[in-house]
Amino acid sequence: MGYVKGHGTKFGRKMEAAIAALLTQRNIDEAAKAVGISPNTLLNWMKVPEFQVAYREARRAAYSQALARLQQGATAAATTLLKVMLDQGTPASVKVRAAECVMNHSSKAIELEDVEFRVAELERAAGTQKSGRRE
């Protein structure tokens, strides 16, 4: 959150606290109260470009951490889907939904691998052209 103007000052620390509160409180009123400012002050801060950049950066970091936690459970989720899909006692409609999830995720994984391969090939080709060589 180094983009907040006045970082290290009382004002800058308050803005950083406001960003943290916006990430943890249910709404702007509660975030403002947690920091000890009025909701109008917080709304005004949210219009400041440096505040917007810092807030966006903080939201991305929080989201990235949440995704990392979900990825940790991916193996268990895949195991659960497969168990439900293959269990003889599972109702047909649930089996179909589990199978659909497995197929969708498998398809997305293949698409992602293809995109990663294409990007790597483009980067390799761009690097070759920069060096003046062609393969």
Measured distance CA(13)–CA(27) in Å, rounded: 20
Tell whether 63 and 89 lie within a shared domain. no
pLDDT classification of 128: cutoffs 50, 70, 90: confident
Measured distance CA(103)–CA(11) in Å, rounded: 52
List, for residues 62-118, the tens digit of each pLDDT value.
Answer: 999 999 999 999 999 999 999 999 999 999 999 999 999 999 999 999 999 999 999
Quote the pLDDT of residue 7: 53
Greatest CA span in the chain, whole angstroms? 64
Tell whether 60 and 89 lie within a shared domain. no
Per the structure, the complete domain to which residue 25 belongs is given by 10-70
Tell whether 41 and 54 lie within a shared domain. yes
Distances (CA, A) of 47 to 1, 23, 43, 54, 93: 16, 17, 7, 12, 49
> Where is the domain boundary, 22, 39, 70?
70
Is residue 1 included in any domain, yes or no?
Answer: no
Angle of CA points 41, 43, 46, to nearest 5°: 110
Measured distance CA(20)–CA(55) in Å, rounded: 8
The answer on pLDDT for 132 being more than 70 is no
Q: What is the mean pLDDT of the chain?
A: 90
Quote the pLDDT of residue 134: 54
Is residue 26 included in any domain, yes or no?
Answer: yes
